[in-house]
Amino acid sequence: MCAARGDNIAVLDKNLEAAESTIADALELGSKSALGLLYDVTVEEQIEDSFRTIAAHLGVPYGLFANVGIDVGGLIHELPAATWRRVVETNLTGIFFTCKHGLRQMIQTKMPGSIVCTSSPTGFVALAAGGAGAYSATKGGVSSLIRCLAIDYASYGIRVNAVVPGATETNLMWSNVPTADIPEMRQNISKEIPLGRLAQPEDPARAVAWLLSDESCYVTGSHLICDGGTLAKASISV
């Protein structure tokens, strides 16, 4: 969607093939230049090197979408410390590293811009199915982080917001669900969402593209909830 309005695009992904596929789409849709890089969000040195490469090829980014997350479930009393650290290092520390080096470049070059981070409804409420303590804690952390960043960097002309996608048809949605159970699970979840369906990736993407654009120039420190009405609904059926 950003490519379609003429933005140059850099895609950083742990899966280089996925990044290259996305930049091929971006070039077809309207980007004059696009760059795909292999990137592990938990390794700060890789992030710093990636931002240097982006600046050299595309210029300093004026829009940054920090979208990363893994969901490794489990009850807290049974959760190995290594699993907890892996979720925190990916979902929260990875967002911190990404914002840190994006902000540093923007400030050094006096580039005003917009940063969007992915939070989650689980940052506000617990999942009824349970077992999401680590994931929820990291998303609550992301929500707190964006509010602080919005205040800290407003004087630089840098806006920081969060998008809050609900149940969305992505691989992450079904990462803890056996393949044979997905159709029934999809049907059951759709009944619980006020709009009656899971989101397609394009739905939260529209929200992100708006937050990255000048159309949202007076929006910072906010959460744009894109969950089909899930957070607005009470959990009891009365």
Residues that are catalytic: 135
- The residues, ordered by sequence, that sit 6+ positions from 117 with a Cβ below 8 Å of its Cβ are 66, 67, 95, 99, 142, 145, 146, 160, 161, 162, 163
Please tell me the distance from the alpha carbon of residue 106 to that of residue 60, in angstroms, as a whole number.
7
Other CB atoms within 10 A of residue 222 CB: 16
Please tell me the distance from the alpha carbon of residue 113 to that of residue 48, in angstroms, as a whole number.
18
Q: Which of 169, 173, 221 shows the shortest CA–CA distance to 199? A: 169
Please tell me the distance from the alpha carbon of residue 72 to that of residue 134, in angstroms, as a whole number.
8
| DSSP H or E run through 207 | helix 202-212
Opening angle at CA 106, ends 46 and 204, nearest 5: 75
Please tell me the distance from the alpha carbon of residue 47 to that of residue 52, in angstroms, as a whole number.
9
The answer to whether residues 13 and 38 touch, using CB atoms and an 8 Å cutoff, is yes
Range list of β-strands (E), the chain? 9-13, 34-38, 63-66, 113-118, 158-165, 223-226
